[in-house]
Structure 1
């Protein structure tokens, strides 16, 4: 969100704009910047953004007293601390040997004892560092360097394990060391190098025992498989052939309101899981009967064609053909028990219910009549920043899904697609989508069908606004999911016949129909381009959201959420009310 380059602007430009805004605030209300970092991390789950705000604040003396109060409650993980230090080095322009001023050292020393050995082993192990190097992600800062440069002394046993000190050879030496405060003497460790133990997680268990039915059954029955990991591995459960008891426990979790509410997952995560359930049962049955069975070239071609068609929802978004992708050969997974079509149908029904629960439990009802516009223009086919999740591969897909999610919690709602005319199917730049049914997957397909009949340019729906103003149609909320159409700096935002801007036509509606209209624009690509300068920004009933997360639905559903409301939410954070 902070560092990723986008199509319409560079990452450097976006960071510069954010820093300019922070410079305007720091002298007026330095505490607000630190509160914003806390709110971003703990309410909106935006890790990179909060770390950037912290790093910038650490470079300004005005915010230091507030950082001392809030720092421990914003940095939640060892990886957060390393990311904060790296961002700080970048902000102060240091590209050489890392610098750790005394103030930074004091923050790090104060936070470090909060980390457990489990956290340090999971997020900052040597194995993780090597894996990141293999992926081409070189860490400038590691925990060993941080401990040495910040002169961290406690907890002594964790510090010694990170640095790699030798364990005391005798009981007397152990008692004279500070290790005795944290552990008992272990003769087997005498004289050996200390190191952070690799924690036992579902990943390490799977790595040790392999992707087998017995391994998955053990993890699920012992409740050691986190919900997110279970959701992402539903396909593995099926192709390895877990037993009926395990399948039953999985379905129960997917239908459990408490589990869904605590998962805090993006709604489209469930859609990605749903699509992973398309398992070839006939093939599984054949390799179960004959482990040496090999598919014919005709069968392979047919499978590849089916996968290709499954991804061709939009022009230009098809998956590469099988012949164009070279993948290493994989070992066959021989299922213990071949799943039945009834089991897969049960998984799909449970996922449909999980989506409804996730929306109902995490999003408050939106009162009044709402109009949702989903941008269907060509620029919306840019890939989403987190990478493809099933068929949710672009901002266009994401906008449709968010629109349908909101429809589920709106008291009254109309959904429109927005792009450019494409006669004769779509004579205007907007088109209302008539939806039938409640199944989110069927509804998404219906929206995609209408999308194929739209143009691919950007135009703003001035004529639609003129119609609702003329007819005095009452609307409480207008919500637009787009990537750049929210900016009056774009030529598409001007009505060339009437010389309107989007702000002016919006103000006309408020003057003549509903003065309390909420106008919310969600820039899914994260450009968050300026809105007509001060005119738009000073209208507190407007709200601009850049990027995406599960918090978007929560923000939109809050009846009083506007620009002013978002600021009040950050200012309302009180240090005295934060749990220690």
Structure 2
């Protein structure tokens, strides 16, 4: 009889992140049974959570940076085409600026050290998407690998300069506080103006003149630069000119510039009303407290709220969902709440509505209380709560559970505010201890669900059972039930045997990888996100 080729035999979906074995071969930082991932999968998960130069609960900053570099070196030598696609996706879709820049620099360094050519110039260019990043790349390279710039680095940075340098970029990013100014980038890389930008030659020359203090005259084609200079001169005599919103926009003025020029000479509410039309969504949500404290009018506040809530605006901003949680916590008034709720919904649009019954387990252990970065007040536990609540709001039958030493079931408000539900969940952190008894929580809460989603840093405690390492998280529920791990930190030990039947791991701070979950949950294979 036919054993495999039958109508009842279903294919097993396969994800891109895979472990090297189907049985545990190592342990977590807390002694739980763990697996080793294949290098490309480990690099993907690590890069999605790596803020570069930042410590994590179980790893020092130096240890994390060293592990990241080593992974990049190994993969870049073996698969440069994969590396180029990965870096471009990491920077564009996943929004990881520092990690993509370091990955590009270290990939090229490793390949040049081994005498490998081809792809190197494109790898550098793939990481640079904002006008200040060519200078960032040169700063990182010279600080890490010396002042000698290899040709692929020069050419990749020069390509980015021609693509990114504009008048508004010069005014915003070419500041005295930068170690590498626009002129330094141009002079070190010998960048040529883009053929389709006839004004760029004059911009490049002006940037160099500006760097060396000989920019008395502004070229005729550089109308934004000229308008900026004229407005600054007028504002020194009459600050009221800064209240003209159209002039601020035409002069490429940033909100920081305007506040600095005005000082205490103008009413803050009127000043913000002039600045708001020129501000991007990130600047808007960062300044909600300032708007309230200045007494911004309800009419202008409604326009700010409309822009914050606009799905197209949020999609193009590529802001991490946790930015809206942070803004919600910082804003003193209630008038921003609904707009931020809508923005959060738009920023988690890739979180799927999963059919059937889903168990969502969110780690609230002590290690999850560490901050995402030194500059952020958002913790990994906040990230877990955000994605847990987002999944619960998408699904009709979701059991949302927090766990540490023990576990608790959390009810969400149907049709209510996701931000309020996240705050309510976070308010229960510490309620059930500070350990990471993941296996015990799974065994206690799994009740025939169609799938399990685990949001955690994946550093489970050892669970007593057969074998020296105990029972693994991967084996805590039946093998025929899909388990999706959402990794918030990117540690090397893996508690899910991803790549085996019904076991998958995704990660990061963006909702982009949830597209993989949707594909996999429907039984389809999911390759690397950029392929």
The Cα of 1:543 is off from its aligned counterpart by: 3.9
Q: Map of 1:431-510 to 2, 5 A cutoff?
A: 431-437=408-414, 438-448=416-426, 450-462=428-440, 464-465=442-443, 468=446, 473-476=448-451, 478-485=452-459, 492=461, 494-499=462-467, 504=472, 506-507=474-475, 509-510=477-478
Check the 8 A contact 1:518/1:562 in 2, yes or no. Answer: no
Indicate the residue corresponding to 2:208 in structure 1: 163
The Cα of 1:31 is off from its aligned counterpart by: 0.9
Change (3 A) 1:212 1:407: same
Distance 2:391 2:454 in 1: 12
Check the 8 A contact 1:108/1:150 in 2, yes or no. Answer: yes
Structure number, greater radius of gyration: 1
The Cα of 1:76 is off from its aligned counterpart by: 1.4
Check the 8 A contact 1:519/1:542 in 2, yes or no. Answer: yes
Change (3 A) 1:34 1:240: same
Indicate the residue corresponding to 1:385 in structure 2: 373
Indicate the residue corresponding to 1:568 in structure 2: 528
Check the 8 A contact 1:375/1:417 in 2, yes or no. Answer: yes
Change (3 A) 1:562 1:235: farther
Give yes or no for the alignment of 1:217 onto 2:205: no
Residue-by-residue CA offset, 1:57-116 (whole Å, 9 max, x unaligned): 222147642233454443112322222223334553x3xxx1112332232333322211
Distance 2:456 2:80 in 1: 32
Change (3 A) 1:353 1:10: closer
Give yes or no for the alignment of 1:351 onto 2:407: no
Indicate the residue corresponding to 1:105 in structure 2: 154
Distance 1:152 1:505 in 2: 52
Indicate the residue corresponding to 1:52 in structure 2: 102
The Cα of 1:181 is off from its aligned counterpart by: 9.4
Distance 2:170 2:443 in 1: 55
Check the 8 A contact 2:108/2:123 in 1, yes or no. Answer: no
Residue-by-residue CA offset, 1:179-238 (whole Å, 9 max, x unaligned): 89989xx9xx9xxxxxxx994223322322357111122233xx2122222222223223
The Cα of 1:36 is off from its aligned counterpart by: 0.7
The Cα of 1:49 is off from its aligned counterpart by: 1.2
1:31 to 81, 84, 91: 81
Give yes or no for the alignment of 1:242 onto 2:296: yes
- Unpaired runs of 5+ in structure 2? 1-49, 194-199, 230-249
Distance 2:524 2:67 in 1: 18
Check the 8 A contact 2:360/2:399 in 1, yes or no. Answer: yes
Check the 8 A contact 2:365/2:436 in 1, yes or no. Answer: yes
Check the 8 A contact 2:483/2:502 in 1, yes or no. Answer: yes
Change (3 A) 1:367 1:85: farther
Distance 2:255 2:522 in 1: 40
Change (3 A) 1:503 1:365: farther
Distance 2:430 2:473 in 1: 28
Give yes or no for the alignment of 1:83 onto 2:136: yes
Q: Map of 1:350-369 to 2, 5 A cutoff?
A: 350-359=339-348, 361-369=349-357
Check the 8 A contact 1:375/1:419 in 2, yes or no. Answer: yes
Residue-by-residue CA offset, 1:104-158 (whole Å, 9 max, x unaligned): 22323333222113213312322x43xxxxxxxxx4x444443333344645433
2:383 to 395, 398, 411: 398
SS of equivalent to 1:65: coil
Indicate the residue corresponding to 1:312 in structure 2: none
Distance 1:168 1:419 in 2: 61
Give yes or no for the alignment of 1:528 onto 2:506: no
Change (3 A) 1:5 1:150: same
Change (3 A) 1:88 1:278: closer
Distance 1:81 1:225 in 2: 24
Check the 8 A contact 2:128/2:134 in 1, yes or no. Answer: yes
48-57 or 375-384, which deviates more = 375-384
Check the 8 A contact 1:56/1:91 in 2, yes or no. Answer: no
The Cα of 1:395 is off from its aligned counterpart by: 2.2
Distance 2:498 2:70 in 1: 16
**TM-score, structure 2 as length reference:** 0.71
The Cα of 1:362 is off from its aligned counterpart by: 4.7
Q: Map of 1:281-360 to 2, 5 A cutoff?
A: 344=334, 346-359=335-348
The Cα of 1:449 is off from its aligned counterpart by: 5.1
Give yes or no for the alignment of 1:539 onto 2:479: no
Give yes or no for the alignment of 1:413 onto 2:395: no
Change (3 A) 1:74 1:560: farther
- Unpaired runs of 5+ in structure 1? 130-138, 190-196, 280-343, 421-428, 487-491, 573-580
Indicate the residue corresponding to 1:4 in structure 2: 54
Check the 8 A contact 1:232/1:273 in 2, yes or no. Answer: yes
Indicate the residue corresponding to 1:148 in structure 2: 187
78-87 or 67-76, which deviates more = 67-76
Change (3 A) 1:63 1:242: farther
Q: CA RMSD in A?
A: 3.7
